[in-house]
Amino acid sequence: MALKITDECINCDVCEPECPNGAISQGDEIYVIDPNKCTECVGHFDEPQCQQVCPVDCIPLDPDRPETHEELMEKYNKLTAG
């Protein structure tokens, strides 16, 4: 699954630089995660780095975007190819 940032986000700016895929950006009101770039850090780290640094715990899995570990690894390979 891709991750998502909920309305509890306080725009603290700590998650964006931690994302190895550049999937996190400032949205209209809060930070947002591009599900096409989010691999839950599969291929980079053992744990999603944004979840590790979030001080308000507002980055859960997105139940609307289920993905297996294999699908996340495939996405990682596409993002890092070339």
Instruction: CATH number of the domain at 62, please.
Output: 3.30.70.20
pLDDT (tens, 9 = 90+) of the chain, 82 residues, equals 799 999 999 999 999 999 999 999 999 999 999 999 999 999 999 999 999 999 999 999 999 999 999 999 999 999 999 6
**Cα Rg for the chain, rounded, in angstroms?**
12
The answer to whether residue 8 is domain-embedded is: no
pLDDT, position 1: 76
Strand pairing class (31-33; 24-26): antiparallel
The answer to whether residue 61 is domain-embedded is: yes
Range of the domain at 22: 16-80
pTM: 0.93
The answer to whether residue 7 is domain-embedded is: no
Phi and psi at 34, nearest 5°, equal: -80, 110
Q: Please, how many CA atoms are within 13 Å of residue 70, restricted to the half-sphere of its CB?
A: 0
Count of the separate structural domains present in the chain: 1
pLDDT, position 82: 63
CA angle 64, 48, 60 (to 5 degrees): 35
